[in-house]
Amino acid sequence: MNMAIDLENMKSDHLVDARAESCPGPLLAAKKAMTKVPMDGILEVWSSDAGTKRDIPLWCKKIGHEYLGDIEGKGYFKVFVKRKR
């Protein structure tokens, strides 16, 4: 998690609620949703699947997006990604 970024107050450009999805559903949902995010915009993904917290940083590394970090919600977590391509 990037401590320099205030994720609690982060305003996202697009929110994906993938809490009902099992792995790799949230990852696919993130990929699909990113097309709706403007360049340098923020995608926020909600997931209750533990694998997502590890998959999304790897996805960012592979694709070239910037992984901003994650924060805990109630029974789920929120992941933030900045679109870079």
Partner 1 sequence: MESEEEKITIVVFSGTIDRLIGMAILTNAAIAMDYTVDIFLMLWSTYAFKKDIIGKDNTISEHLDFTGDKFEEVLKTGGISPWYEMIKQSREMGKVKIHVCSAAGKAWSAELKDLEFVDDFVGAGEIVWSSAESKTTYFI
**Which of 13, 17, 24, 41 is in the footprint of partner 1 by CB under 8 A?**
24
Choices 1-9, 22-30, 39-47, 69-77; region in contact with partner 1 by CB under 8 A = 22-30
Is the Cβ–Cβ distance between 26 and 48 less than 8 Å? no
Q: Among residues 15 and 28, whose Cβ is nearest to partner 1?
A: 28
Q: Tokens for 23?
A: 């792995």
Tell whether residue 58 is a contact of partner 1 (CB under 8 A): yes
Answer yes or no: 23 catalytic: yes
Q: What are phi and psi of 46, to 5 degrees?
A: -100, 130
DSSP states of 46-74 as a string? Answer: EE--TTHHHHHHHHHHHHTPEEEEEEE-S
- Interface residue list for partner 1 (CB under 8 A): 20-25, 27-28, 30-32, 55, 58-59, 62-64
Positions marked catalytic: 23
